[in-house]
Amino acid sequence: MRLRIHNRPRALRAIVGVLAAVPLAILAACAAPQSGQDGAQPQEQAQAESESPPMVGGDRDAHGCIGSAGYQWCESRNECVRPWELAASEGFEDSAEAFDSHCSAASAGDAPEG
């Protein structure tokens, strides 16, 4: 005598169906996107991910000098320089005032050519 599922009572078939559906529902709930633990919604998370931090060295000023690398514009030399390196090579004090004095447009005539 073989038992078939259609010979079993309807209640038993309903229980088997529910028991089969529960693991599927749990898997679906685990795979569904959830809002972040910090309360941000998925759309806000996507926006935050697209706003990545600036690239290192991507902070050029109007003259193209990279400030995060220590470069500043020197008007008299018409180039980006590192103030402490320029002070060492030109023999002036390593200070903001001395750099400004050395690189001001007024001292442009004193700058070496080339």
Among residues 25, 1, 3, 8, the alpha carbon closest in space to that of 16 is found at: 8
Assess if residue 99 is contained within a domain. Answer: yes
Answer yes or no: is pLDDT of 17 > 50.
yes
Assess if residue 82 is contained within a domain. Answer: yes
Q: Check residue 114 and give its pLDDT.
A: 41
- pTM of model > 0.75: no
Assess if residue 4 is contained within a domain. Answer: yes
What does the pLDDT look like over 51-98, one tens digit per residue?
777 677 678 999 999 999 999 999 999 999 999 999 999 999 999 999
Domain that holds residue 84: 67-110
Per the structure, how many domains does the chain have? Answer: 2
Q: Check residue 51 and give its pLDDT.
A: 74
Beta strands of the chain (E only): which ranges? Answer: 72-74, 79-81
Assess if residue 94 is contained within a domain. Answer: yes
